[in-house]
A and B are shown apart, each in its own frame.
Chain A
Amino acid sequence: MTTLDDLMDQSTSSVEETSLTDTESESCDPQMASDEGSEVSVETSKRIRLSLRDTLATASLGPRGRPLRAVLSAIGIAIGIASLVAVIGVPASAQAQARKDFEAWGANLVFVTPATDRQTNEQTPLPETAPAMIERVWPVKAVLTIRHLPDISVYRTDQIPETQSKGILALIAEGDPVNTLGATISDGRWFDQATSTLPTVVLGEYAATMLGAEVGHRIWIGQSWWAVIGILSDLPDFAGQLQSAAILAPLFAEERWPDLAIGEIMVSAHQGKLEDVKSVMAVTANPANPKGVEVNTPTQYGWIQDYFFQIFTILALGLGGIALLVGGIGIANTMVVAVMERRGEIGLRRALGARTGQIALQFVLEAGFIGLFGGILGLAFGAYVVFCITAMIPITFAIPWWILVAGPLMSVVVGILAGLYPSLKAARQPPTVTLRAV
């Protein structure tokens, strides 16, 4: 332990030397002052740092002392964050709904068909290896291969006149319609190894209605009876032909009608990979003659929705930024008033041995607390607004995950920035001025 002599030596040597020791912290002996003899006890010019707990406890005194004011200030920030969440959340929800709708429409589908030569008007058949090759492409989710039976009609019974076919198509589908098209088997089941070798059929929902057929019924196709084993529902609009089709058991049908060419390959791409899949389909399906392959996507909506979402995001950031600025001014105002009102406390703390930096930190953290509280409040309120709007329209509720982190973080930053000037002002006030002003 050194005394004022040592302190004086250090202080008069150089400011730089002191600043080097300032970074160190230490704990005083509690009994130091009382155990010391006749000399004033000051060990060194090293700064005493408050523990994190003490720092936070000190910073929370203001909001605890005047909770209503703190809440009202926080509401300013909360409105800003809520605006941000709402303006970003509502378009995000709309986008999520659009994606869902597009998927329902088949927006993630790629249709691979044989190309037609414009001069000869002849089609180049797709190789039989094409479905397997396409399935190996990584962004491809699932594949469904369609072979058409153009001259075959479908009837409820053998007593129905040939002219009353009702436009129901007969085709062969190999693959997985559930994963490829997002369809569901509303009744019965899809083909398995056993049923695909038997005269069985799965009807599209529209075809089943038109025929009045259910699972277990028999229907008349190509001069023979076929057993209905399933009803296919929820097909996307872009795969609408399957709605009104009778899908025949592939192995049994191909045995009966051999040499049927591949009419169409429906390829489902993973989300956001539509263009990637589309770009390699021709080469993959027919490496020897890519030009003999025609590749189509139902729509360009995926690109359009991304474009609109970007516009909404920029708009949201603009509006949210203005709202945050207003909230920040509210916090700054609160902190200025708090500093003016608490000059006595500031003076007292200086008299108790607080440094200017500790006073500034106390008020900056206090502003940060208000900001954080406002951020969390705004996040909850904004999410509730988005929930209400999406429930009313109704669309899918969705809030980007990053706003959950960025919202409170931004509010803390705004709070700290807003509290910086009043805090520095508080810290720089001479203790005699603050004590006298009360």
Chain B
Amino acid sequence: MASTVPLVSLKQITKTYPGNPPLTVLNNVTLDIEVGEDVAVVGPSGSGKTTMLSIMGILDQPSSGEVFIDGLDPTDFPEAAKARLRAESIGFVFQQFFLLPTLSAWENVAEGMLYQGIKRATRRERAFEALEKVGLAPRASHRPGQLSGGEQQRVAIARAIAGGPRLLFADEPTGALDQSSGQLIVDQLQSIASDGTTVVVITHDQGLASRFSRQISLLDGNVVADTKSGEMPSVKGLKTSKKKPREVVEVRDPDFLEPPPIVVDQSEMEPTLDAKDRVRQRIARVRTQKKSSSESMKEPIKEVKL
């Protein structure tokens, strides 16, 4: 990575909506996202995922704390500067696609570059290039109503990447799609990430999240787990070692360490477990792995898809 400064950095971000009583959606969240990372943010509804994405995407402001993008806090930027930053450096993909029904696929993609000041002919050219990337060039002249849900979302992805953003935020991009379409969308997002764009995806789907190299778990406005693939797990101060497979689990909520974790076998996991239970299971699994690895390194630990 060329830059040592995180591309996105949240420092003790709290977001509280006024009311009686006030609703705190994000509570003292701190995290960094490096350039080129592909990150999945998971958590149940109401955990603050979308709010966190909105703050990272400069669509919303935190109640307290600081947001840094490329080392600078855009919170105090004038509205025009924020708008331009969004236009030129950030791409968004939403669950509802938000395609304009009267425009064709390529026109919708070109609309994504409208506020960048790019000339019409260039917008058209780049729109077709973006559609080519997502495999929808043959459907360029079709309107959203003539496309399937998955195709519409791919058009939305093309719209998000056509302007060449360095950051791509996707809020439940597979939420309105069937499983196969969702897999295709994740493939597209990972392909974009492999090209160097930093991708942050919000999803409920643990299976889809596990395909990203980093997973951040949110619960009740707190980051309860931040997991990266390819590193030794660490729990509350344990050192990581690159010699050890496979995950790093950083637990920031002490409530999840008490009472002592219950070890659950993978085969016994209930599909309806809530996120808290999943995190507990993961902690237990990591501890089990640590214990077994200290005794014997003979058997590799199987990856658990939650």
Q: For A348, what are the chain B residues with a Cβ–Cβ distance below 8 Å?
A: 92, 94, 98
Distance between B199 CB and nearest chain A CB, rounded to angstroms: 15
Binary flags per residue of B78-109, CB closer than 8 Å to A gives 1, else 0: 11110111111110101010101111000000
Q: For B74, what are the chain A residues with a Cβ–Cβ distance below 8 Å?
A: 4, 8
Tell me whether A419 is interfacial, beta carbon within 8 Å.
no
Tell me whether B202 is interfacial, beta carbon within 8 Å.
no
Q: Identify B77's interface contact among A7, A22, A344, A435, CB under 8 A.
A: A7
Q: For B69, what are the chain A residues with a Cβ–Cβ distance below 8 Å?
A: 4, 40
Tell me whether B111 is interfacial, beta carbon within 8 Å.
yes
Whether A40 touches B2, Cβ cut-off 8 Å, given contacts A11-B81, A352-B115, is no
Q: For A10, what are the chain B residues with a Cβ–Cβ distance below 8 Å?
A: 81
For the complex, count residues of A whose C-beta is within 8 A of B: 60
Nearest A residue to B8 via CB reads: A40
In the complex, are the beta carbons of A38 and B1 less than 8 A apart? yes
Interface positions of A from 9 to 38, Cβ below 8 Å from B = 10-12, 15, 18, 22, 25-28, 30-34, 36-38
Which one of B7, B77, B90 has the highest number of Cβ atoms from chain A below 10 Å of its Cβ?
A: B77
Tell me whether B30 is interfacial, beta carbon within 8 Å.
no
Distance between B73 CB and nearest chain A CB, rounded to angstroms: 8
Interface positions of B from 143 to 173, Cβ below 8 Å from A = 163-167
Q: For B2, what are the chain A residues with a Cβ–Cβ distance below 8 Å?
A: 37-38
Tell me whether B70 is interfacial, beta carbon within 8 Å.
yes
In the complex, are the beta carbons of B70 and A40 less than 8 A apart? yes
- Inter-chain CA distance A435–B94, complex, in Å, is 9
In the complex, are the beta carbons of A353 and B54 less than 8 A apart? no
In the complex, are the beta carbons of A45 and B96 less than 8 A apart? no
Whether A36 touches B166, Cβ cut-off 8 Å, given contacts A432-B60, A438-B96, is yes
In the complex, are the beta carbons of B79 and A435 less than 8 A apart? no
In the complex, are the beta carbons of A352 and B111 less than 8 A apart? yes
Interface residues on B, range: 35 or more
- Inter-chain CA distance A431–B98, complex, in Å, is 13
Tell me whether B76 is interfacial, beta carbon within 8 Å.
yes
Whether A45 touches B166, Cβ cut-off 8 Å, given contacts A28-B117, A348-B98, A353-B116, is no
In the complex, are the beta carbons of A39 and B3 less than 8 A apart? yes
Which one of B1, B83, B165 has the highest number of Cβ atoms from chain A below 10 Å of its Cβ?
A: B83
In the complex, are the beta carbons of B100 and A353 less than 8 A apart? no
Whether A353 touches B78, Cβ cut-off 8 Å, given contacts A30-B119, A358-B115, A435-B94, is no
Whether A432 touches B59, Cβ cut-off 8 Å, given contacts A27-B117, A37-B2, A358-B115, is yes
26 pairs from A and B in contact (CB 8 Å cutoff): A11-B76, A12-B76, A18-B78, A27-B117, A33-B88, A37-B2, A38-B1, A39-B70, A40-B85, A41-B88, A43-B84, A45-B80, A46-B80, A47-B84, A48-B115, A50-B114, A64-B102, A65-B102, A351-B57, A351-B86, A351-B90, A352-B87, A352-B114, A353-B88, A356-B79, A438-B96
Q: A27-B118, A27-B119 are in contact. List 5 more A-B contacts (CB 8 A).
A: A4-B72, A26-B117, A48-B116, A344-B96, A355-B80
| Chain B residues packing against A (C-beta within 8 Å) | 1-3, 7, 35, 50-51, 54, 57, 59-60, 69-74, 76-81, 83-90, 92, 94, 96, 98, 100-103, 111-112, 114-120, 122, 126, 163-167
* Among all A-B residue pairs, the 8 with the closest Cβ atoms: A353-B87, A33-B164, A353-B115, A38-B2, A48-B117, A34-B164, A45-B81, A348-B98
| Chain A residues packing against B (C-beta within 8 Å) | 3-5, 7-8, 10-12, 15, 18, 22, 25-28, 30-34, 36-43, 45-51, 53-54, 58, 61, 64-65, 344-345, 347-356, 358, 430-432, 435-436, 438
